[in-house]
Amino acid sequence: MYQELENLHKECFPNKPWSSKDFEDLKKSGCDIIASQNGFIIWRVVADEAEIITIGVRPEFRKSGIASAMLILVENDVKKRGGKKIFLEVAENNIPARKLYESNGYKQIGIRPHYYDNIDALLLEKEI
Ligand SMILES: CC(C)(COP(=O)(O)OP(=O)(O)OC[C@H]1O[C@@H](n2cnc3c(N)ncnc32)[C@H](O)[C@@H]1OP(=O)(O)O)[C@@H](O)C(=O)NCCC(=O)NCCS
């Protein structure tokens, strides 16, 4: 499974690939992972808050609702476990991801300057 995630991640983030060991460590640290042939999402629930660690969809399957569907699965899981809020960070210049989060009800609550090298990260939140 971790090797498949490594391959999937490389397709989604060619400039910053993660290794299968990175995924194994995330799992060991308490993260949850959903992965299919087309995409993956990783999140962590701590007390009544959750964080989306990352999400990706294979390029040829984008813009068909896969990421939105995965977000809904995660939101349902977080709700079931007593979570009230979901946080995430997105690069200011990542327009597809910003569009995804905006259309799924995530609101900007902060900014982390130069979070990704010289690019700002926007801190988003959704109350569920
Ligand atoms: C961001 C990403 C996960 C979106 O996946 P997706 O499956 O294409 O998203 P969806 O099909 O569910 O689209 C969700 C919304 O975003 C919009 N959207 C998606 N890609 C878009 C693009 N390139 N330009 C404009 N809008 C876009 C869709 O039209 C849709 O809007 P709607 O709900 O108003 O119809 C995908 O582009 C990806 O894997 N990117 C590379 C990895 C990445 O940047 N991950 C995010 C890290 S924070």
Q: What is the pLDDT of residues 41-58, one digit of tens each?
A: 999 999 999 999 999 999
Which domain, by its residues, includes 77? 2-127
- Residue 9 and residue 23: Cα distance in Å, rounded? 10
What is the sign, positive or negative, of the torsion defined by CA atoms of 74, 79, 83, 84? Answer: positive
Query: What pLDDT, on a 0 to 100 scale, did the predictor assign at position 120?
Result: 97
For position 50, what pLDDT does the model report?
98
Residue 40 in contact with residue 6, Cβ under 8 Å? no
| Short-list 85, 96, 71, 67, CA closest to 124 | 85
CA distances, 107 to each of 55, 65, 86, 126 (Å): 17, 20, 10, 6
Q: Report which of 65, 112, 66 is spatially closest to residue 87, judged by C-alpha positions.
A: 112
Mutate to test the pocket of ligand 1, among 71, 99, 123 (most ligand atoms within 8 A of CB): 99
Q: How many domains does the chain have?
A: 1
What predicted TM-score, i.e. pTM, was given to this entire model? Answer: 0.97
Q: Round the CA-based radius of gyration of the chain to a whole number and report it.
A: 14
What's the pLDDT at 117?
85
- Write the CATH number for 85: 3.40.630.30
Q: Report the pLDDT value the prediction gives residue 1, as an integer from 0 to 100.
A: 86
User: Which regions of the chain are under pLDDT 70?
Assistant: none
89 is catalytic: yes
